[in-house]
Structure 1
Amino acid sequence: MFKSLMIKFNKVKPMEGRTEKESYPHLHGQSQPPTAQGENKSEKESLRTRRTPVTGEKSHTKDNITEEDSLRDFTTNPDSECPAEPTGTMSEMEQTRTRRERPVSFKSKLLEDSIINGYADAHLHKLVERMRERTALYKRRLTEGEHSPLPEASPQTMKSTDISPTQDKNSKLKEHHQGKWSCKLQRSPENEHFKRMRLPRSIDSYTDRIYLLWLLLVTIAYHWNCWLLPVRLAFPYQTPENRHYWIITDIICDIIYLGDMLLIQPRLQFVRGGEIIVDSNELKRHYRSSTRFQMDVISLLPFEVLYIFFGFNPIFRINRILKYTSFIEFNNRLESIMDKAYIYRVIRTTGYLLFLLHINACVYYWASDYEGIGTTKWVYNGEGNKYLRCYYWAVRTLITIGGLPEPQTSFEIVFQLLNFFSGVFVFSSLIGQMRDVIGAATANQNNFHICMDHVIAYMNKYSIPQSVQYRVRTWLEYTWNSQRLLDESNLLENLPTAMQLSLAIDTNFSIINQVELFKGCDTQMIYDLLLRLKSTIYLPGDFVCKKGEIGKEMYIIKHGEVQVLGGHDGAQVLVTLKAGAVFGEVSLLAKAGGNHRTANVVAHGFANLLILDKKTLQEILLHYPSSKKLLMKKTRVLLSQKEKTTKATSPKTGPAFLFPPKEETPKMFKALQGSTARIDLERLLKGKREHVAQK
């Protein structure tokens, strides 16, 4: 007994100073020395003697022994898969120490007695730990914002529960390391990167910028075939030495064509009956039934197989030019997103002209080669750069500059006649197209100049003074330079109401939202106000409103400043209002008799104001009674403040100027003048008089 107590003292006491390896040797795969085994035996025997209750019943002793065995099997089980598991379990020494410090309760005793099989209990603990790891993985993915599929358990880790414990203990450690490697492979950044690069199920061709870049790549491949195939057919630039370079470039272009037909075009959304179709099967079916699919298939037919019989001739790639639909779509999409689309239209028309000259140069070299290089004065003489000389001849021929040598043979005469006819037709059509593009780009400016000429002619007809004419011209020029329009309402009146509202919100909502008068009103009412606002520009020195006028409008400053004038002479600047300020709202909301202007308002510089008239506001407020009550309440507050300010600032004339005004009665004295206070004061005076009379 003394020996077991000494072992317990030496074993339990210095436990606090031990390292993790010493306290949990089974986690590091180290075998315990024989002395430790002897100590563990004696320790277990002492534990069994200590766990026996005071009553000394044999049933409790047996239960404690089985519980100890199950705990020993659980804590010494080497098949733990996660490193966090040993923290949740306790060694035998710690359990004895904790149980020695606190008494065993009935609930803990029931929990300890409920452990039937140590292996099953350990397996349940492992399942709980795996579920915790799974929950932590989901939390981390949610915080990172990734939408990855649910992790499924691999068939290697799924084991039946009828495996013997000896086989399970031998394979647990191996599965633990395999699980770690599989987790690392599942969380590798390469897989996540590939998931992000995965093509979407459907592509919106009108708004997707990545699709526009893909169309640019397809257009480059299309231009390679359009521009280089005639050169390779006519000029001797394709030789056996550089043939492999041409073949590699052709293969790259064919891969781009094939990727567009198989991966991109079957994913494009389309509209059917007003509904946008995004289903992948429907998109594939729609593309395969379209004419574009037929053209794409014909453009990719492998006629290069004929190279085996006829040699390496680029004429067998002429079907690649049928991919013109992608080039047309690229032009339309690019024009829709450009601010100045007419610039691209001019460049594109110029490109058409250069391409026709390019084709003419190739045909001229072919005709010269057919007749014989340098045989006549009309054909190419073989000197200098072949392509530049032929291109120069094509420019002079199509534009009909003249100064060319006369054709001599019948073939040369027919070729020159056809060249002249085609040149006149093509060049005239391209010049007309260029004129239409430039005319459409400058249409607004032409309308402005026409309007300016009509207004000036009108003023000259009726002999308007030059000062007024100068102000009218200044207004027209400033309005055009500031917004490139004379009237914004005419531009937006053809748009649907929803689009008008979205444009009005983007341009004026930030200004209306700062107005104190409309704070707290219904948002839909503010949207209706935005649709009814009218923009007006005032020149420097223009009177926006004058004192004494009947106010029918409210003004909101969009840009610029206005000055409120007052004083004895009406020229003193009382206040300067800037962008976002409101004036004239009292006259707009007041009833009859209170809608007269109380001051002069002058534009300080060029001022852009938004105007809302009284009739429009009343029509809007009929549908929003709560907002109407709020505005009327604010109007009464504004009127009361206005009356106070007018009384305080009203000038004193006549005898009232000599006598100061009567001071206001103090609030305390007003309270004493009440009915109850007056009665108490009368009683007090009456009692005092009676007291004096008795004396």
Structure 2
Amino acid sequence: MLKSLTVKCNKVKPMEGRTEKQPCPHLSSGSQPSIAQGENQSENESLMSRTPATVEKSHSKEDNSTGENSLRGSTTNPDTECPAELTGTISEMEQTRTRKEKPASIKTKVFETSIINEYTDAHLHNLVERMRERTAFYKRTLTEGENSPELEASSHTATSTDISPRQEINSKPKEHHHKLQRVPVKEYLRSMRLPRSIDSYTDRIYLLWLLLVTIAYNWNCWLLPVRLVFPCQTPDNRNYWIITDIICDIIYLGDILLIQPRLQFVRGGEIIVDSNELKRHYRSSTKFQMDVASLLPFEVLYIFFGVNPIFRTNRILKYTSFFEFNHHLESIMDRAYVYRIIRTTGYLLFLLHINACVYYWASDYEGIGSTKWVYNGEGNKYLRCFYWAVRTLITIGGLPEPQTSFEIVFQLLNFFSGVFVFSSLIGQMRDVIGAATANQNNFHVCMDHIIAYMNKYSIPQSTQHRVRTWLEYTWHSQRILDESNLLETLPTAMQLSVAIDINFNIIDKVELFKGCDTQMIYDLLLRLKSTIYLPGDFVCKKGEIGKEMYIIKHGEVQVLGGPDGAQVLVTLKAGAVFGEISLLAKGGGNRRTADVVAHGFANLLTLDKKTLQEILLHYPTSKKLLMKKAKVLLSQKGKNTQAIPPRTRPAFLFPPKEETPRMLKVLLGNTGKVDLGRLLKGKRKQTTQK
């Protein structure tokens, strides 16, 4: 394209004492944003007024060759491209030029070399250089995929440089490859960056962090009494204990500095996510005071009193994170009562653990093996003391009698605390198990009352058996007898979201409700009732007035028909709908046309006519649409269920005569009928005459 441009620009002929070469104002303005309009006008006027000088042919050839070489050298770069505007404007100039230059005879036309001055050559060369730089800039931005401010600045202050095109091409892949190596590192660092705010109720990573803090807390709670009383921390293994303590302190410190100041909170119904507000709220809370107290560096006293675990007792003050972890874990578990039982058992074991440590301390205070009541120093120290603590707290008995007053006071306090603690734990365990089995107990109570009622009024055993079967199947299938009452405590928005997740895909398949208002369908979802039918139960019977529509949620139903009413016409499965015509029919058109029987256990969603009419009062457009659909369905139903007149016995031997096709009737017309009547009249006359 640029080669053709150079040829067109160089092969310009002088006409009538003036040069035909004019700079393109559109290109000059587009490619040279820094040149003013006045300067362009002055340049055009100077070029128009300038006449071709009489120069020698050698000089004109040299100028022409140098101009062509300069243009070709600036345009033969394979990376440069000429925009469509340049070719369009120059082609228009060429067309106007050819119209003006039409000679009388083409054969006599003499081609002469054009005279291009140094100013025009330099101006065109500058234009091409600027277009080449702009094209390279746009190609660079497209390949890199981002507009950096440095490149944009260079595009506005683009100047001709001494860098060759090959060097520029070779430098591009290196820059691009260098950036490809940086991007993954930046993305990795961004992914590792902590968020500005953390939702403690939905963020699972925060739950994992609480688990780590809880492990560090349990390390301090369980092992500090052991290290303080039992001779398990020796100079040989002291470094391992200290390293583990430092790791726990780092976890505590990270929780105080990085995690807790980012937790969201609610103030006046608004969720606060501003980082400054979150930090201020945490620092003003009691939790922050307890966390700071748990990290006070009392270990400095190791220098004066030696390494003693008693100086780390303040680490137990971070109990808030432990209870917070228990609360969040229970909220996401399917069976939270299992974790509650495990947690209550852990509380009991911890109290026994503390009692074992206290008993060893009392034995050490009195002297190991000094009396029959204290620990005699044989066997595993911790295991023997733990066994004594279990027998004491549970009050099993069979323990040696205390000898000294210290032992008697200690044993009395141990008995009182054991009775109190053990009874409270037993009551808590009973509450946990009772809450887990509350629904089952209610089911058994309800079943007992129903059976007692049926026995009181001497209900047949077959009916009682069906009632028991329904109760047991309903309980085992959905763990509740009435699903509609389960979500009454929730707000309407929550009930709607649950109903949409469960039943929207089913009701969306109903042909009757397609095209209706979505909000109307949502209201229908809230009014649907779930009903379970036993095998062989009649869902609806032929001839009865239909007041409900049925949607099969689980199971199958069979439509019966035939002469005896026992033939299975069709089997409807989950997702099928029947009885929808009865919701909108009027004037006695809502009678059932067939028997529908449950084939196995079937769970059906029912919608009664009264509920639908109440809903349609608020949606007049949907009501009109439903009435139109109901008329179409009723007309189809009338055609399919036309009354057939009863037949006599001989009529069964001969099939009924088929109706004459309409086209044949048109072809025959009325002539055949008239001729046949005349023929019958003639025969009657002949018989009367005879």
Scaled by the length of structure 1, what TM-score is found?
Answer: 0.78
Instruction: Map Cα deviations across residues 354-376 of structure 1 (whole Å, 9 max, x no partner).
Output: 11111111111111122222222
Aligned positions of 1:327-366 closer than 5 A: 327-366=322-361
Q: Which of 570, 579, 604 is 2:565 aligned to?
A: 570
Contact 1:235 1:362 in 2 (8 A): yes
Contact 1:70 1:115 in 2 (8 A): no
Question: In the aligned structure 1, how far is the partner of 2:321 from the partner of 2:476?
Answer: 39
CA apart distance, 1:664: 3.8
2:150 corresponding residue in structure 1: 153
1:138 corresponding residue in structure 2: 145
Contact 1:115 1:121 in 2 (8 A): no
Look up the SS of the partner of 1:489 in the other structure. Answer: coil
Question: In the aligned structure 2, how far is the partner of 1:535 from the partner of 1:652?
Answer: 45
1:14 corresponding residue in structure 2: none
CA apart distance, 1:308: 1.3
**Does 2:378 match 1:386?**
no
**Does 2:208 match 1:250?**
no
2:366 corresponding residue in structure 1: 371
CA apart distance, 1:665: 5.0
1:593/1:180 Cα in 2 relative to 1: closer, same or farther (>3 Å)? closer
2:79 corresponding residue in structure 1: 87
1:267/1:73 Cα in 2 relative to 1: closer, same or farther (>3 Å)? farther
Look up the SS of the partner of 1:548 in the other structure. Answer: coil
Look up the SS of the partner of 2:202 in the other structure. Answer: coil
1:285 corresponding residue in structure 2: 280
**Does 2:600 match 1:614?**
no
Instruction: Map Cα deviations across residues 41-81 of structure 1 (whole Å, 9 max, x no partner).
Output: xxxxxx99x956565956987875675575477579xxxxx
Aligned positions of 1:27-426 closer than 5 A: 67-68=67-68, 71=71, 74=74, 86-88=78-80, 105=94, 116=123, 122=129, 125-126=132-133, 128-138=135-145, 151-153=148-150, 179=175, 182-187=178-183, 189-426=184-421
Matched AA of 2:150: A
Look up the SS of the partner of 1:492 in the other structure. Answer: coil
Q: Which of 570, 579, 584 is 1:584 aligned to?
A: 579
**Does 2:491 match 1:496?**
yes
Look up the SS of the partner of 2:641 in the other structure. Answer: helix
Question: In the aligned structure 1, how far is the partner of 2:549 from the partner of 2:144?
Answer: 60
**Does 2:471 match 1:473?**
no
Matched AA of 1:132: K
1:206/1:64 Cα in 2 relative to 1: closer, same or farther (>3 Å)? farther
CA apart distance, 1:628: 2.2
Look up the SS of the partner of 2:484 in the other structure. Answer: helix
How many residue pairs match? The answer is 597
Instruction: Map Cα deviations across residues 549-574 of structure 1 (whole Å, 9 max, x no partner).
Output: 11111111111111112222222222
Matched AA of 2:262: R
Contact 2:129 2:160 in 1 (8 A): no
1:375/1:124 Cα in 2 relative to 1: closer, same or farther (>3 Å)? farther
1:103/1:492 Cα in 2 relative to 1: closer, same or farther (>3 Å)? closer
1:428/1:119 Cα in 2 relative to 1: closer, same or farther (>3 Å)? farther
1:73/1:320 Cα in 2 relative to 1: closer, same or farther (>3 Å)? farther
Question: In the aligned structure 2, how far is the partner of 1:154 from the partner of 1:363?
Answer: 75
Look up the SS of the partner of 1:419 in the other structure. Answer: helix
Look up the SS of the partner of 1:87 in the other structure. Answer: coil
1:79 corresponding residue in structure 2: none
CA apart distance, 1:493: 1.3
2:677 corresponding residue in structure 1: none
Contact 2:535 2:598 in 1 (8 A): yes
Question: In the aligned structure 1, how far is the partner of 2:616 from the partner of 2:665?
Answer: 42
Question: In the aligned structure 2, how far is the partner of 1:161 from the partner of 1:451?
Answer: 88
Matched AA of 1:378: W
Look up the SS of the partner of 2:150 in the other structure. Answer: coil
Contact 1:63 1:113 in 2 (8 A): no
Matched AA of 2:294: S
Q: Which ranges in structure 1 are unaligned for 5 or more consecutive residues? A: 1-46, 77-84, 91-97, 140-149, 679-695
Contact 2:10 2:68 in 1 (8 A): no
Matched AA of 1:203: I
Question: In the aligned structure 1, how far is the partner of 2:447 from the partner of 2:191?
Answer: 57
Contact 2:499 2:525 in 1 (8 A): yes
CA apart distance, 1:299: 1.1
Question: In the aligned structure 2, how far is the partner of 1:63 from the partner of 1:605?
Answer: 103
Matched AA of 2:145: Y
Matched AA of 1:183: K
Taking only aligned residues, the RMSD between alpha carbons, in angstroms, comes to 3.6
CA apart distance, 1:158: 6.6
Contact 2:75 2:128 in 1 (8 A): no
Contact 2:81 2:135 in 1 (8 A): no
Q: Which ranges in structure 2 are unaligned for 5 or more consecutive residues? A: 1-5, 20-51, 98-113, 671-690
Question: In the aligned structure 1, how far is the partner of 2:151 from the partner of 2:280?
Answer: 37
Question: In the aligned structure 1, how far is the partner of 2:587 from the partner of 2:63?
Answer: 99
Contact 1:357 1:395 in 2 (8 A): yes
CA apart distance, 1:238: 0.9
Contact 1:375 1:381 in 2 (8 A): yes
1:582/1:238 Cα in 2 relative to 1: closer, same or farther (>3 Å)? same
Question: In the aligned structure 2, how far is the partner of 1:585 from the partner of 1:290?
Answer: 60
Look up the SS of the partner of 1:429 in the other structure. Answer: helix
Question: In the aligned structure 1, how far is the partner of 2:574 from the partner of 2:163?
Answer: 83
1:642/1:175 Cα in 2 relative to 1: closer, same or farther (>3 Å)? closer
CA apart distance, 1:152: 4.9
Question: In the aligned structure 2, how far is the partner of 1:162 from the partner of 1:539?
Answer: 86
CA apart distance, 1:132: 3.3
